[in-house]
Amino acid sequence: MTCRIAFVLFPGFQQLDLAGPMAVFEVARLARPGSYDWRLVASAGPAVRSSAGVDWPVQGLPRRLGDLDLVMVIGGDGVDAACQDAALVAWLRRAARSGARITSICSGSLLLAAAGLLDERTATTHWSRSRQFATDFPAVRLQPDRIYVREPEVRQQGLPELWTSAGMTAGIDLCLALLAHDHGEDIAREAARQLVVERRRPGGQSQFSPLLDLQRPDGRFGALLDEVRRDLARDHRVEDLAAQACMSPRHFARCFHAETGTTPAQAVERLRVDAARAALEGGSASVLRVSLDCGFGSTERMRRAFLRLLGRPPAAFRPGGIGAG
């Protein structure tokens, strides 16, 4: 059975956000003829200009939504203007009610959020958009450090199946996961092999961002986080961080999340994982020594944090370690 896809474009879309996913489905279709078919659609045509200045031919937004199985919103710098496109937003709401799976690549998740499709549901986006996302769409359970997120269909509430991804190449990870979901792991592995990409990066793996906006020189909490980074072995409880910021713990936690899109505890953990990873890759200290120096307290706590954020255990980052290369 053919999965019929609509790639949704808007002026200023990012070409790689489109080309990567399209390549995954193209390879899948070569391996299994008839498995996928697609069209490029937009609220205005006959062409849409990408952020690189290249025009792509498009069709209008389909009126017969029953002909679609998957709607994929592409990201790009033009997404802010696209969020104000009433016709496009209304069409996405109709598509969500039609039974089609709804997906987004990179910052395309902002358009889904603008349509109200992500309210009270979990989603991710490109790390550089996380603060904007958290501010503009507080009803969404944003997971700023995820490569992709799948929210299953909730039939009794009429909620569609949702997939959102982070940066440009994370869209390839999402589409490989979709391919595995539709046709099995073997064909997803073969597609990854043809594209010479890793199969598979777990959806929960960190985006490896520079801690979102935490390292911005104009950030309100930059100096505080520099202090944390200089002495990771300390406890760094929320109460202590709030006192250093001259705020109540509750107000501090709320302001911190509003600015960074993450919690203080998650930020401290990311700093520890980043430092531990660098130390392990240097190969000069034991895993136990690194876990203590970076404030984990034990190798087991460090292992759990690595698996949660990096998708691999600490040993994989030692020179010649498992999974290295």
Residue type, 11: P
**Domain identity same for 39 and 180:** yes
Please indicate, yes or no, whether residues 83 and 124 belong to a single structural domain of this protein. Answer: yes
pLDDT digits (tens, 9 = 90+) for 38-92: 999 999 989 999 999 999 999 999 999 989 999 999 999 999 999 999 999 999 9
Tell me, yes or no, whether 155 and 262 share the same domain: no
3-state secondary structure of 148: strand
Domain range for residue 228?
A: 222-317
Exposure string (b/e) for 153-187, b if CB count within 10 Å is 16 or more? eeeeeebbbbbbbbbbbbbbbbbbbbbbebbeeeb
9: in domain:
yes
Q: Mind listing the pLDDT tens digit for each residue in 273-294? A: 888 887 886 676 789 999 999 9
CATH number at residue 142: 3.40.50.880
CATH code (residue 239): 1.10.10.60
Give yes or no: residues 31 and 174 share one domain. yes
- Our count of domains for the chain comes to 2
Q: Are residues 158 and 71 in the same domain?
A: yes
For 203-224, what is the mean pLDDT? 55
> What does the pLDDT average to over 152-156?
82
Start-to-end Cα distance in the chain:
38
pLDDT of 208 > 70? The answer is: no
Is 163 inside any structural domain?
A: yes
List, in sequence order, every residue forming a beta bridge with 149; answer none if it has no partner: 164
Q: Which one of 156, 176, 195 terminates a domain?
A: 195
Does 162 lie in the same domain as 22? yes
CB distance 261 to 134 below 8 Å: yes
The DSSP bridge pattern shows strands 3-8 and 70-73 to be parallel
State the pLDDT at residue 284.
64
* Average of per-residue pLDDT across 249-259: 89
Q: Cβ distance 193 to 40 under 8 Å?
A: no
Closest CA to 291 of 283, 299, 300: 299
Would you say the pTM of this structure is higher than 0.75?
no
Distance CA 258, CA 264 (A): 11
Phi/psi for 78 (5° steps) reads: -80, 5
